Chains A and B, each alone.
Chain A
């Protein structure tokens, strides 16, 4: 990275804190800023009663020059952004452990980003471009399970750009450290029948390479993303096609000596949505197909399999998986007395097929009768307005998962009660949540067909009690959140099977937040949070601490953003991530930006290890960077 660029980036970050001219509240700039904020699309989509909410508005995303969702995840309280040994986004990653079933769910509009076998598609979408996204809502602390078909500790809802608010065509180019580049463009059109958006992005993301055990460790990613949205009255149609290639970092190599593992993938999606606000009816149908071709190899050993006579070792593998996912929902909203209610039914089915499986170049037949899961869910939600200051919210959801083959079926129940008080100056929200969650298909599959178990793990259950008190005065807002999260029957891997952990896992969460809103557009935000995990007989204390300071503002032709994120976790060096962005708009046609991330080079690192399946020998690679020290420079033209 050029040293001068780094110094310039640090200087602009520091300057951001000091450049703050005073505006009269009613200046035209201030009025325009207030209008942009209050008329933001998020004001139409966010649901404060569904949980604790952070909104990244369109202007926030523009000021931050967000290049991928992973940059947002690290700004969510209680969450430590991490990447798996495949170099993919996985906030709850722990070596050899399954993804928690109620971890994080990500949606684009109503569509869950999900693949039937691997589960949460955040792993992939966390790294992809976001140029077609208007704003992002983050609901945390096990928000309403009716936000989507699966409940989660964190639900991220991304909403695509509204063609009627874009009214333009854009092309842009970005260049970054290590030879990264991105080209993108979109156009919108509006006529008497409706509107449409067409978006195309090519991204060649080069990451900093490292080496270990004489192996090159690469997390480079290349992708092409096409997205279109057509709105016609009450109907909306979406099509998305993504293809690309990922270098998968450590792969599955037990001795951490991979030989260029990589995955080629394609993702196709088609969706239809219908909304009739007069009749209170919303429905959608989503279809997706995901194809991924995984190549893995290791200098020494990659794995073993049981043949008819003996255990056979192999050092390379190729596996192609095709996954189909269909989901549909119909929801009816209605009012009764002083309550706003909704009832709905959701259904999804997922199918996965293993094709072209080779171990050391020899075809291998994966023994499995399990290739499909189907889920049916019923949900109801009600918000009862006691008076102008108080509201009670409640929701209940039941799911039935039908599994193919000899995998057991699962019945899930979840419910939520909440009380919200809002006097304008004081706001309090309190929620009680209980839910059960089924293991992901990959966990069930591996347990049966890789580890030869004859039974399946039980559901994981979560109980959360939480409260948040907020005080607002003029431009200031301060709040305190306290929550207790009790996880029962948590699903773990013990080296030979997945099982339900017998102790309850209790985590106490505390968050202090302060927000100052600048007149017009922009804000300063500071968060301090901690997760205090109580020790158990077999688990040590694993407290995590974090703090975020975030400054975001528009000043004349400039947009400024800077953030400092601190995270401390057990057994890790504290991570300091400083980022800064300056966007300059000299005219309506052109905008330029410079962005630096992990400017100090001290962002959080992660530890990885592998276990030899024959000898049990553990190989460790510690303190590997999750976030590269990087500069981005970009230019955008508007027509």
Chain B
């Protein structure tokens, strides 16, 4: 049933990019800019990000947070003991409340609020880690 519905929905979408692929591009752009590398190993436990990175050439999803350059989660505090944040392993929140709770560790957050997707980059953390981002991110640093 889902396949026909998907076909009919796709039929009406004028072959535009799917939201998940754009979301993956956004995370890819942010992650590579933060880490200043061309490929980032990323770990996520958020169901909203499940299998969305497969087509994103700048991101490789890992099965364990210990292998990751970036941990993407709405429960970041659960990783503090097993995969603590370092300059080589960045924390990125997927909910605003989790970002606020882990502001000392998270370098940023990407989440829905007030009906819009929001990107926040943590100015204090960027300074602490001496991360210099391209100017296109200036509007998102707070």
Say which residue of B4, B26, B140 sits within 8 Å of A339 (CB atoms).
Answer: B4
> Is B128 located at the chain interface by the 8 A CB criterion?
no
Tell me if A28 and B22 are in contact (CB < 8 A): no
> Is A504 located at the chain interface by the 8 A CB criterion?
no
Tell me if B5 and A335 are in contact (CB < 8 A): yes
Q: Number of residues in B with C-beta < 8 Å to the partner?
A: 38
Q: Give residues 1-36 of B contacting A (CB, 8 Å).
A: 1, 4-5, 7-8, 11-19, 22-23, 25-26, 29-30
> Is A543 located at the chain interface by the 8 A CB criterion?
no
Chain A residue numbers with a CB within 8 Å of B119 are 28, 32
Q: Give residues 580-639 of A contacting B (CB, 8 Å).
A: 587-588, 638
Contact with B along A26-65 (1 / 0, CB 8 A): 1111011011101101010000110000000011001000
Tell me if A168 and B8 are in contact (CB < 8 A): no
With most chain A CB atoms within 10 A of its CB, the pick from B1, B18, B97 is B1
> Is A468 located at the chain interface by the 8 A CB criterion?
no
> Is B79 located at the chain interface by the 8 A CB criterion?
no
Say which residue of B14, B16, B29, B115 sits within 8 Å of A166 (CB atoms).
Answer: B115
Tell me if B4 and A385 are in contact (CB < 8 A): yes
Tell me if B140 and A588 are in contact (CB < 8 A): no
Tell me if B113 and A168 are in contact (CB < 8 A): yes
Tell me if A472 and B14 are in contact (CB < 8 A): yes
Tell me if B113 and A36 are in contact (CB < 8 A): no
Chain B residue at minimal CB-CB distance from A38: B19
Q: Say how far B46's CB is from chain A's closest CB, in angstroms.
A: 13
Tell me if B112 and A165 are in contact (CB < 8 A): yes
Say which residue of B19, B95, B139 sits within 8 Å of A557 (CB atoms).
Answer: B139
State in angstroms the CA–CA spacing of A587 and B114 once bound together. Answer: 13
Tell me if A161 and B115 are in contact (CB < 8 A): yes
Chain B residue numbers with a CB within 8 Å of A280 are 1
Assuming the contacts A49-B8, A338-B4, asked whether A38 and B18 have C-beta atoms less than 8 A apart, the reply is: yes
> Is A440 located at the chain interface by the 8 A CB criterion?
no
> Is B130 located at the chain interface by the 8 A CB criterion?
no
State in angstroms the CA–CA spacing of A287 and B16 once bound together. Answer: 40
> Is A383 located at the chain interface by the 8 A CB criterion?
yes
Contact with B along A323-341 (1 / 0, CB 8 A): 0000000000111001110
Tell me if A28 and B29 are in contact (CB < 8 A): yes
Chain A residue numbers with a CB within 8 Å of B16 are 38
Chain A residue at minimal CB-CB distance from B10: A388
Contact with A along B32-55 (1 / 0, CB 8 A): 000000000000000000000000
Chain A residue at minimal CB-CB distance from B1: A335
Tell me if B12 and A28 are in contact (CB < 8 A): no
Chain B residue at minimal CB-CB distance from A389: B11
Assuming the contacts A49-B12, A62-B115, A391-B11, asked whether A28 and B26 have C-beta atoms less than 8 A apart, the reply is: yes
Chain A residue numbers with a CB within 8 Å of B136 are 27-29
Tell me if B11 and A31 are in contact (CB < 8 A): no
State in angstroms the CA–CA spacing of A556 and B138 once bound together. Answer: 10
Tell me if A35 and B22 are in contact (CB < 8 A): yes
Say which residue of A29, A31, A340, A587 sits within 8 Å of B22 (CB atoms).
Answer: A31
State in angstroms the CA–CA spacing of A168 and B96 once bound together. Answer: 9
Tell me if B139 and A48 are in contact (CB < 8 A): no
> Is A164 located at the chain interface by the 8 A CB criterion?
yes
State in angstroms the CA–CA spacing of A422 and B95 once bound together. Answer: 38
Tell me if B8 and A32 are in contact (CB < 8 A): no
Chain B residue numbers with a CB within 8 Å of A424 are 14-15
Chain A residue numbers with a CB within 8 Å of B5 are 335, 340
Q: Give residues 109-127 of B contacting A (CB, 8 Å).
A: 111-120
Chain B residue numbers with a CB within 8 Å of A333 are 1
Chain A residue numbers with a CB within 8 Å of B29 are 28, 31
Chain B residue numbers with a CB within 8 Å of A335 are 1, 4-5
Q: Say how far A179's CB is from chain B's closest CB, in angstroms.
A: 29
Chain A residue at minimal CB-CB distance from B140: A28
Q: Say how far A139's CB is from chain B's closest CB, in angstroms.
A: 13
Chain B residue numbers with a CB within 8 Å of A587 are 142
Tell me if A167 and B12 are in contact (CB < 8 A): no
Q: Say how far A528's CB is from chain B's closest CB, in angstroms.
A: 23
> Is A427 located at the chain interface by the 8 A CB criterion?
yes
Say which residue of A38, A166, A383 sits within 8 Å of B17 (CB atoms).
Answer: A38
State in angstroms the CA–CA spacing of A300 and B21 once bound together. Answer: 69
Tell me if A385 and B137 are in contact (CB < 8 A): no
Chain A residue at minimal CB-CB distance from B5: A340
Q: Say how far A285's CB is from chain B's closest CB, in angstroms.
A: 25
Assuming the contacts A34-B22, A424-B15, asked whether A588 and B142 have C-beta atoms less than 8 A apart, the reply is: yes
Q: Give residues 424-438 of A contacting B (CB, 8 Å).
A: 424, 427
Chain B residue numbers with a CB within 8 Å of A58 are 115-116
Q: Say how far B84's CB is from chain A's closest CB, in angstroms.
A: 27
Tell me if B8 and A59 are in contact (CB < 8 A): no
Q: Give residues 267-324 of A contacting B (CB, 8 Å).
A: 280
Closest 6 CB pairs of A and B: A48-B12, A39-B19, A58-B115, A35-B22, A424-B15, A38-B19
Other A-B contacts than A340-B4, A588-B120, 5 sampled, CB-CB below 8 A, are A39-B22, A48-B12, A59-B116, A391-B8, A422-B12
18 contacts across the A-B interface (CB closer than 8 A): A28-B26, A31-B26, A32-B26, A32-B117, A35-B19, A36-B117, A38-B17, A48-B12, A49-B12, A166-B115, A168-B96, A168-B113, A170-B114, A385-B7, A391-B11, A422-B14, A557-B139, A587-B142
